[in-house]
Structure 1
């Protein structure tokens, strides 16, 4: 073989290798599961011209759906007939009924998740609020009356209990703190009462708040289709573990999904679950302040030496904050070692504190940094209508 032929052969080999490596890189970037799941990508190519292809590469979330679905139930709640005022205030009801007031008792439709062998079911408060009778239907066809264990309107969660012959399917909890934007999730529930349905998507965002859906908001946002009837159902990860309770959708019409759904993280849901089972209510901390944002204008006006924190606008008389020495104009920067950067963060951090516990509160007063000892008070709960019980 001449030198020219060797060079030509080497050139062809190097080009083919470059193309092959480029192909592997593209597959690794866009479809990494192809390199780890199922048959080789090369196995999808024909063995010869005109020969039928080998088994195509398949990647499925069937195992995750099969693991979680048996524990996701339909919740039917009989409620008194709607008033026209209730219909006018709710876009979804307005879409269905318009000016026609239904005279008969209505049946609310939602979903729930069996979370323990004892028959405890997590669902949304708005699914069962005001119900005179609640029934739960399992995917295997079994049905049972449900007892309302307790509700927590401030997180829009409720706990039911059913009594059926063992064994009951129970979902396995995941870890919401391990979720990352881009992770695959499945939404499982009973949308529009068509029967159990599984939809897939990704985690679109974490820690969503200030949506006006509940008092304590720390939602997982997902583009997995969530529709009316999905409320109270399961948001699960790619292994079928519960990571959230589906709660709400964003819709311009109050109807179907637009690819923006919200779920309560599983760790928050289980905290409420344990409190309702143990005490029948959720006890939260309270310090007694009215707060505002710290922005550049506030920093300049008050000549602060910090850029982040929560401005104290007012301190209630005889409140825990007043007794600890907190004053209007102070900027709260930390509570018990947790940095706070917004009023919403402060509410969530304080609410998680145990009433009557002692905590350290760091405040900035002008150029002076202070550490104050504070005994946490008991936050008065909201009613189902969302009004404080003062």
Structure 2
């Protein structure tokens, strides 16, 4: 995601993904889209769940036809019982920014008056205060509150207003930008809380309810159905979002999404929009993800994410035919990071992950979505399609903060002269060999010194040294050590092959 002043852009055709907080803090809190081509984008003690929905008799569709009994949710019970634990969040910060960094709205825009209240009348120059707003909900009687990370990002002051109109200054215990979850704390006791549910049991078509403060209008209730689960919205996010058609607007960010039992199953976070307002698609962070983040923040003040150490591709029909798969499903392993959990588990380039702990992988993004629910050190069982059959592998997940092993470098002394090639090399992966048609070779991941001076570039494939084929760094090291002044490297670049002399003396 890239910041454009206060606007974070994710373009999906002409639709844009907008974060749902109102106002802006330091170009980050409550970014609101005003340009049609850009976008802003363990569990607390449970209380008794709301009574089961009461049957409601629907009116006859045709005069004279018998009435049909249809079970509809009683949203009044959920709103009355759980609305007390939903809070309004106001944030203030300061930023040294030009007026152009704050979203500018045409006076004819229907939301002009709303956006204008967040503009500094002096042009927001020189660190003037800026404001934002969002929603949240209480998960512990002693004042622990969940909301979105983007609601409080860059805030110097956070104020929480309860449903009974009391206001408290809040501390940000921690936030996680990867999942967009933040945890706040206010100094209060015996507060009402929401019951926490599991998002894993959500079904497409199930009724859900949102409570929040869209456009600053507190305790607003909107309802709809679950449109999809496990949605992937950005390449850099592993959150399996819940998609709904619940009306969510700026100010709803951080508010709860309830199921018909009155349990919170998600945190309302983002919308697809061309206008900055609701257009029929809203997205919530699954509560199973949010609780995992909350527990880590409360316990340690920081969050750890898992890392398998692979890059993946979608399995389309062409790949399915190539690998003799019965359907285009799974996550194709394009590359395995050296020294990673995946390499230790035996994963190889060209493998297709079909299941993780028994859960099917349909689209490639299902893999990181499932792994997002785990923690470093967890063991996962991977069902992998390899050579026409399923192979079971077990991986112990690493910490995402662990640095990858560096590429092996062929910086080799020649005849004790101290000269070096300056190449970072790795062997071709199986899938790269199939796609390129090359039987062997070494991929140039980085070039420096004598190599870059000779014209070698990252992405080149080293095929031979002094006319002898190479497939390992050890072979390159041996041949360079026997040379005196220069070596002749055969390089494949695209469809071309060229010899490049590299001086080492």
TM-score (norm 2): 0.59
Which of 90, 98, 101 is matched with 1:76 structurally? 90
The CA deviation string for residues 345-389 of structure 1, in whole angstroms up to 9 with x for no partner, is 1112223333233333332222243333332211139xxxxxxxx
Greater mean alpha carbon deviation, residues 92-101 or residues 220-229:
92-101
What does 1:158-197 correspond to in 2, within 5 Å?
158-164=182-188, 166-197=189-220
What does 1:287-306 correspond to in 2, within 5 Å?
287-304=308-325
What does 1:1-390 correspond to in 2, within 5 Å?
22-24=65-67, 27-28=68-69, 31-32=70-71, 61-81=75-95, 83-84=97-98, 86-87=101-102, 96=116, 101-103=123-125, 104-164=128-188, 166-199=189-222, 201-212=223-234, 215-254=237-276, 256-304=277-325, 307-380=328-401
Whole-angstrom distance in 2 between the partners of 1:259 and 1:219: 15
TM-score (norm 1): 0.75
Against the structure 1 CA distance between its residues 331 and 276, is the aligned structure 2 distance closer, same or farther, given a 3 Å change threshold?
Answer: same
The CA deviation string for residues 44-74 of structure 1, in whole angstroms up to 9 with x for no partner, is xxxxxxxxxxxxxxx9632221111111111
Describe the SS at the equivalent of 1:343: coil
Against the structure 1 CA distance between its residues 379 and 184, is the aligned structure 2 distance closer, same or farther, given a 3 Å change threshold?
Answer: same
CA contact under 8 A between 1:156 and 1:214: conserved in structure 2? Answer: no
Structure with a larger share of its residues in strand: 2
Whole-angstrom distance in 2 between the partners of 1:32 and 1:338: 31
Describe the SS at the equivalent of 2:273: coil
CA RMSD of aligned residues (A): 3.2
Whole-angstrom distance in 2 between the partners of 1:304 and 1:192: 50
The CA deviation string for residues 24-46 of structure 1, in whole angstroms up to 9 with x for no partner, is 2xx32xx556xxxxxxxxxxxxx
CA contact under 8 A between 1:203 and 1:220: conserved in structure 2? Answer: no
Against the structure 1 CA distance between its residues 208 and 283, is the aligned structure 2 distance closer, same or farther, given a 3 Å change threshold?
Answer: same
Describe the SS at the equivalent of 1:68: helix
CA contact under 8 A between 2:314 and 2:364: conserved in structure 1? Answer: yes
Whole-angstrom distance in 2 between the partners of 1:77 and 1:365: 52
Cα offset, 1:190, TM superposition: 1.3
Against the structure 1 CA distance between its residues 366 and 225, is the aligned structure 2 distance closer, same or farther, given a 3 Å change threshold?
Answer: same
CA contact under 8 A between 1:189 and 1:196: conserved in structure 2? Answer: yes
Against the structure 1 CA distance between its residues 60 and 313, is the aligned structure 2 distance closer, same or farther, given a 3 Å change threshold?
Answer: closer
CA contact under 8 A between 2:151 and 2:254: conserved in structure 1? Answer: yes
Cα offset, 1:100, TM superposition: 8.5
The CA deviation string for residues 207-262 of structure 1, in whole angstroms up to 9 with x for no partner, is 152323971232223333211111111222344332221112222111x2223222
CA contact under 8 A between 2:231 and 2:243: conserved in structure 1? Answer: no
CA contact under 8 A between 2:197 and 2:263: conserved in structure 1? Answer: yes
CA contact under 8 A between 1:112 and 1:123: conserved in structure 2? Answer: yes
CA contact under 8 A between 2:196 and 2:265: conserved in structure 1? Answer: yes
Please list every run of 5 or more consecutive structure 1 residues that lacks an aligned counterpart in the other structure. Answer: 1-18, 34-58, 382-390
Against the structure 1 CA distance between its residues 303 and 288, is the aligned structure 2 distance closer, same or farther, given a 3 Å change threshold?
Answer: same
The alignment covers a number of residue pairs equal to 331
Greater mean alpha carbon deviation, residues 213-222 or residues 271-280:
213-222
CA contact under 8 A between 1:82 and 1:101: conserved in structure 2? Answer: no
CA contact under 8 A between 2:137 and 2:194: conserved in structure 1? Answer: yes
The CA deviation string for residues 109-139 of structure 1, in whole angstroms up to 9 with x for no partner, is 0111001112100000000011111111112
Please list every run of 5 or more consecutive structure 2 residues that lacks an aligned counterpart in the other structure. Answer: 1-61, 403-505
Describe the SS at the equivalent of 2:65: helix
The CA deviation string for residues 155-183 of structure 1, in whole angstroms up to 9 with x for no partner, is 1110001102x321111223433433343
Q: Which runs of 4+ in 1 moved over 6 A?
A: 89-95
